[in-house]
Amino acid sequence: MTDKRAIGVFDSGVGGLTVYRALRAALPQEDFVYLGDTARLPYGTKSGETIKHYAAQAAARLREEDVKLLLVACNTASAQALPDLRERHPDIPCLGVVEPGARAAAGSSATGRIVVLATEGTVRSGAYRDAIHRLRPDAQVRGLACNLLVALAEEGWCEGLEAEAIVSRYVRQLGDDPFDTLVLGCTHFPLLAATLRRLLPSSVAVIDSAQTTARAVTAYLAEHDLEQSEKGRSGRNLFLVTDAPERFLLLAQRFLPEIDVNGVELVALRNA
């Protein structure tokens, strides 16, 4: 069996490109449509109802591309809107980035003491805590909102004195908490993983939800006979944004240095 339709990837802006990069590496034969809601980012500080509304519009637009699977590559939207999207679109698989990251964290931690670095909205939702507790009820999960790390990633300031100063200030807020696993609960944060790694004890496992999500999508496609099985093909990329395609293209070159992003299409989202 083969399914030649594209995979739809939705994010509030450019952070989801870290997930897209992992997906493209894992599934080079697949076609992808990426939609970044750049007109209304960031989602991390907005209310749950607003995020659900925005996510519904994005999903409706991706359905116009006849996608076979919808991946919500934004942690905040995954945390706040995924159940609503599944209810609205029962005929299409809707996956998020929270569950794969939570599963990896629960399996990695020896002590059950887990820290989730995320945006304010994701921490406030408690989505990672709840997902980890479903897998491991004894876990002690602490969320830390790190909104400034989003700006650092988008500016490309992921290394050097400025990055280390800001990242270390967040790390110091964890005090003497003896956690052994840290989840990068925002799609921007993998760009800062090297700086975080230098500031954390070597015994702490760092979970990149982009990589865990790519593995989850790959497994889902295989299990449900949705793979594009043509051997040796190079999948096509379509990038859609709701505002500022020039800025998106500039940032995409930072997030996707190994992928040729030739063009970006400006689209308008309608009420779903």
| Positions marked active-site | 74, 186
- Per the omega criterion (within 30 degrees of 0), is the bond before 42 cis? yes
Beta strands in the chain (DSSP E): 7-11, 32-36, 69-72, 94-96, 113-118, 140-145, 181-184, 205-208, 237-241, 265-266
Q: Rounded to whole angstroms, how far apart are CA atoms 14 and 20?
A: 10
Residue 58 buriedness (CB in 10 A; 0-12 / 13-18 / 19+) = buried
Distance of CA 70 to the CA centre of its chain: 13
Q: Identify the CA nearest to 9 among candidates 214, 261, 244.
A: 214
